[in-house]
Amino acid sequence: MSLLNLDRKTVRYNGHSVLSEVSLRIEPGEKIALIGQSGAGKSTLLELLYEQTKANASLVPQELGLVRSLSVFHNIFMGRLDRHGTWYNLATLIKPFEAEVAQIKPIVERLGLADKLFATIDQLSGGQQQRTAIGRALHKGSDIFFGDEPVSAVDERQAHTVMQCINEAHETVVLSMHDTNLAISYTDRLIGLKGGELVLDAPTKGMKASDLDELYSH
Contact 163, 132 (CB under 8 A): no
Question: Which residues have a Cβ under 8 Å from the Cβ of 204 and sit 6 or more positions away?
Answer: 33, 183, 184, 187, 188, 189, 190
Question: In angstroms, what CA-CA distances link 101 with 98, 113, 126?
Answer: 5, 13, 23
The pLDDT profile of the chain, 218 residues, written as one tens digit per residue, is 789 999 999 999 887 889 999 999 999 999 999 999 998 999 999 999 999 998 899 999 999 999 999 999 999 999 999 899 999 999 998 999 999 999 999 999 999 999 999 999 999 999 999 999 999 999 999 999 999 999 999 999 999 999 999 999 999 999 999 999 999 999 999 999 999 999 999 999 999 999 999 898 87
Q: Read out DSSP for 4-42?
A: EEEEEEEEEETTEEEEEEEEEEE-TT-EEEEE-STTSSH
| 213 vs 180: CA distance, rounded Å | 10
**pLDDT on residue 17:** 85
- Using DSSP's 3-state secondary structure scheme, residue 70 falls into coil
CATH of the domain at 185: 3.40.50.300
Model pLDDT, residue 218: 74
Residue 14's CB: how many other CB atoms inside 10 A?
Answer: 5
Domain housing 204: 4-216
Q: How many independent structural domains does the chain possess?
A: 1
Predicted TM-score of the model (pTM): 0.94
Q: What's the confidence (pLDDT) of residue 158?
A: 95
